[in-house]
């Protein structure tokens, strides 16, 4: 089977936002609360999206452990892996980071300080206003490179081999925000206010720095997946 980019989702209404849009020129497939995942030979890259459960809820949500196991094998095989929010925490835990539940109460646009010129973050260094919605955090995994921090979270983004985790929602587009303010329980407006949500949506739609990072960052991730897609799959051993 030809290789494709795998979106692993742990919430029914997850769209993938900008990640889905900017990878739409590549073959993709999705697994929602998966009970099984495809073999690495069929995968060009992996995007692990957000969710409302804790990354520690592996008994209630076995798909979390399946995802972590696949992510580790993907990193060993140098397959591109991108973890967003919950995906960041799944990656961090799998790589040996400390996971703290309920450590913060962050909803809205947060100033992120990007420390390293990571291609999947658009090679941007400096301040970035990005959407956050999380209470759990993970420390920097042993051996990982810290890419970004904020005033409340030391590990906002990291790279480990072929994987990057981002605590913030770089993928959040207007459709994602509308779903979070209508289908999610509680909604964004219930957690903060309709006026606050309107301001966040304006920022996500118009901030040139963020939009540049989104386009360049997901574009670079797509290029990494395309390179694996173009590479010849290893011969199967009889």
Residues classed as catalytic: 85, 169, 171
Q: Where are the beta strands (DSSP E) in the chain?
A: 4-9, 28-32, 43-48, 81-84, 99-100, 106-114, 126-134, 137-138, 145-149, 157-160, 163-166
Cα four-point dihedral sign 108, 160, 231, 36: negative
Cα gap 14→179, rounded to integer Å: 8
Give the three-state DSSP class for 196. Answer: helix
136: which residues sit within 8 A by CB, 6+ positions away? 54, 55, 56, 89, 99, 100, 101, 102, 103
Cα gap 180→15, rounded to integer Å: 11
* 24 phi-psi bin (left φ>0, alpha ψ -120 to 50, beta other): alpha
Structure tokens at 168: 């913030």
**Cα–chain center distance at 99:** 16
CA atoms within 13 A on the CB side of 73: 12
Cα gap 31→39, rounded to integer Å: 13
96: which residues sit within 8 A by CB, 6+ positions away? 141, 142
């Amino acid at each position: 089977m030809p290789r494709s980019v795998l979106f692993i989702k742990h919430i029914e209404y997850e769209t993938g936002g900008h990640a889905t849009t900017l990878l739409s020129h590549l073959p993709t497939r999705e697994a929602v609360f998966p009970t099984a995942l495809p073999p690495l030979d069929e995968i060009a890259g992996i995007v692990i999206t957000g969710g409302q459960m804790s990354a520690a809820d592996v008994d209630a949500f076995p798909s979390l452990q399946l995802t972590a196991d696949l992510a580790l094998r993907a990193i060993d095989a140098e397959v591109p892996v991108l973890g967003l929010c919950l995906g960041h925490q799944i990656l961090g835990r799998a790589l040996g980071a400390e996971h703290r539940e309920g450590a913060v109460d962050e909803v809205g646009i947060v100033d992120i300080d990007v420390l390293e010129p990571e291609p999947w973050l658009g090679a941007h260094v400096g301040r970035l206003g990005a959407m956050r919605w999380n209470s759990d955090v993970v420390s920097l995994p042993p051996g990982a490179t810290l890419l970004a921090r904020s005033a409340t979270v030391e590990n906002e983004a990291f790279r480990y081999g072929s994987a990057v985790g981002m605590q913030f929602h770089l993928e959040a587009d207007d459709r994602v925000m509308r779903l979070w303010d209508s289908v999610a329980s509680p909604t964004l407006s219930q957690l903060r206010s309709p006026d606050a949500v309107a301001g966040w949506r304006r920022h996500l739609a118009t901030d040139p720095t963020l939009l540049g990072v989104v386009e360049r960052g997901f574009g670079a991730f797509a290029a990494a997946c395309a390179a694996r897609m173009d590479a010849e799959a290893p011969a199967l051993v009889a």
